[in-house]
Structure 1
């Protein structure tokens, strides 16, 4: 056995023998702070040890503090696997989610307020019904409350394009790339597979990603655009920390990738019909996307949205004026 294998074996035995010792939390804290997230071995030993001794370990404040500091939702993930500690219920249609106040109330202002509101008999409320919402969206909401960004591929940040070829010094290889009239060719040298143009209305030069330079970059499905708009809505409705920002980010990426797909119009309509005028999160993204791709105005579905929502037309006009330097 090599030195690395021996070290792993000793670590496993130490966790098995001393899991109830105060030194365990200290050692685990050091491991999570100093070991890269991609190195799973020791992290997994610690989590498996905690899961195996969950009934005793979850009662220790130092364990909760450890995972709250080291990995945000790791403690919540562990508690989610221990139904004994469930003390709150979320229902939606025929679905029942046995959750934990320590998790959902900490991440949602709505659930925190619902838990504090007393029932008629004076006892604290232990359940909330979300049947007016889509069951699939509520399921994703509960999943987000427990897992956050990590382990949540449906809502997680899409990977940025990564260049994998041989670099030439005269190219920048920065993707997505948008040509600009302020830096006409030959200043723009993104890669040897793309000729930059000074025409800001050329859609081929907006958010360009070279498939030769970045062969492993895959686009999220177009359908996720509407999903992100719905998650943005439910994140706002239930005051969920971080969910609106994450959904906004992913909605933006989906618009970049699928602005010419038919789902863009339906997603844009949903964004405008479910957010107030003062909430610019998704609205500004829709305005910017249409301003970047004015050819979208030829689509009847997009024209219908502009006729229905006056604020969208104004937003596009302001965006184009800023891009052209007419206003600041």
Structure 2
């Protein structure tokens, strides 16, 4: 029934487009639409919700999901799947569609894995951090994990370095993600008694800096 006026009892308006919908389908998946259609809002009376200010391509993806439990991750006019999935994730949060938000996060993760080397990866970081509060870790953790995994390659790109300097929260998240350096152990040479600190992996032979005698732990 997606896009069909058959048995339709409502509509979503966005920009210059109107989408025929079925209230039950939307209300079952979103508290926002449930309240809009079954409360004291004016939409309850006429069944028409005006979503001006949102992008049509993201609205289409949301409605496609509500009827099919999936959506095309490449929106019309979107420069990359990364950016489009950010829009859908943000829209799902705005209209309280938790299952869509989870799917958008997974699609975003796949897109980042495939597109991290593209020129718009830094812009995806900017957009994701603008679109989400610091308490919403969904997209942010995906980006931080991907960036840490490929940090040596990314640091060669000026656009990424600019994002590290200018995007509030991203550099801090990256710093927290970095593994802690291994702790140094205290060693005493059994030959001369000299003490020192160092990092020695198990089974590796080490030499005393003072007398030169070797030992292994």
TM-score per shorter chain, which class?
0.7 to 0.9
Q: Which residue of 2 aligns with 1:88?
A: 10
Q: 1:258 aligns with which of 108, 112, 115?
A: 115
Q: 1:100 aligns with which of 22, 44, 49?
A: 22
1:304 and 2:162 aligned: yes
RMSD: 2.5
In structure 1, stretches of 5+ residues that fail to align are: 1-78, 157-220
> Using a 3 Å threshold, how does the CA distance of structure 1 residues 227 and 80 change in structure 2: closer, same or farther?
closer
Structure label with greater radius of gyration = 2
> Using a 3 Å threshold, how does the CA distance of structure 1 residues 81 and 253 change in structure 2: closer, same or farther?
closer
Q: By how many angstroms is 1:309 displaced?
A: 2.7
- In the TM superposition, 1:83-232 aligns within 5 A as 83-119=5-41, 124-149=45-70, 152=71, 154-155=72-73, 223-232=80-89
Matched residue of 1:142: which SS? helix
1:240 and 2:161 aligned: no
> Using a 3 Å threshold, how does the CA distance of structure 1 residues 233 and 82 change in structure 2: closer, same or farther?
closer
For residues 5-33 of structure 1, what are the alpha-carbon distances to aligned partners after superposition, in whole Å with 9 as ceiling and x for unaligned? xxxxxxxxxxxxxxxxxxxxxxxxxxxxx
Q: Which structure: greater helix fraction?
A: 1
Superposition TM-score, scaled by structure 1 size:
0.50
In structure 2, stretches of 5+ residues that fail to align are: 184-217
Matched residue of 1:279: which SS? coil
Q: By how many angstroms is 1:310 displaced?
A: 3.7
Matched residue of 2:52: which SS? coil
Matched residue of 1:91: which SS? strand
On the 8 A contact 1:222/1:261 being kept in 2, the answer is no
CA distance in 2, matches of 1:279, 1:98: 32
For residues 103-149 of structure 1, what are the alpha-carbon distances to aligned partners after superposition, in whole Å with 9 as ceiling and x for unaligned? 011111211111123256x9635111112011111111111111112
Matched residue of 1:143: which SS? helix
Alignment length (residue pairs): 179
For residues 149-168 of structure 1, what are the alpha-carbon distances to aligned partners after superposition, in whole Å with 9 as ceiling and x for unaligned? 2xx4x149xxxxxxxxxxxx
On the 8 A contact 1:141/1:231 being kept in 2, the answer is yes
Q: By how many angstroms is 1:300 displaced?
A: 2.2
CA distance in 1, matches of 2:177, 2:157: 20
Superposition TM-score, scaled by structure 2 size:
0.74
On the 8 A contact 1:271/1:282 being kept in 2, the answer is yes
> Using a 3 Å threshold, how does the CA distance of structure 1 residues 127 and 317 change in structure 2: closer, same or farther?
same
> Using a 3 Å threshold, how does the CA distance of structure 1 residues 107 and 140 change in structure 2: closer, same or farther?
same
Q: By how many angstroms is 1:296 displaced?
A: 1.0
> Using a 3 Å threshold, how does the CA distance of structure 1 residues 232 and 123 change in structure 2: closer, same or farther?
closer
Q: By how many angstroms is 1:289 displaced?
A: 1.1
Q: By how many angstroms is 1:298 displaced?
A: 2.7
Matched residue of 1:107: which SS? coil
Q: Which residue of 1 aligns with 2:202?
A: none
Q: Which residue of 1 aligns with 2:131?
A: 274
Q: By how many angstroms is 1:320 displaced?
A: 1.8
Q: Which structure: greater strand fraction?
A: 2
On the 8 A contact 2:2/2:64 being kept in 1, the answer is no
Q: Which residue of 2 aligns with 1:317?
A: 175
Q: Which residue of 2 aligns with 1:292?
A: 149
On the 8 A contact 1:92/1:133 being kept in 2, the answer is yes
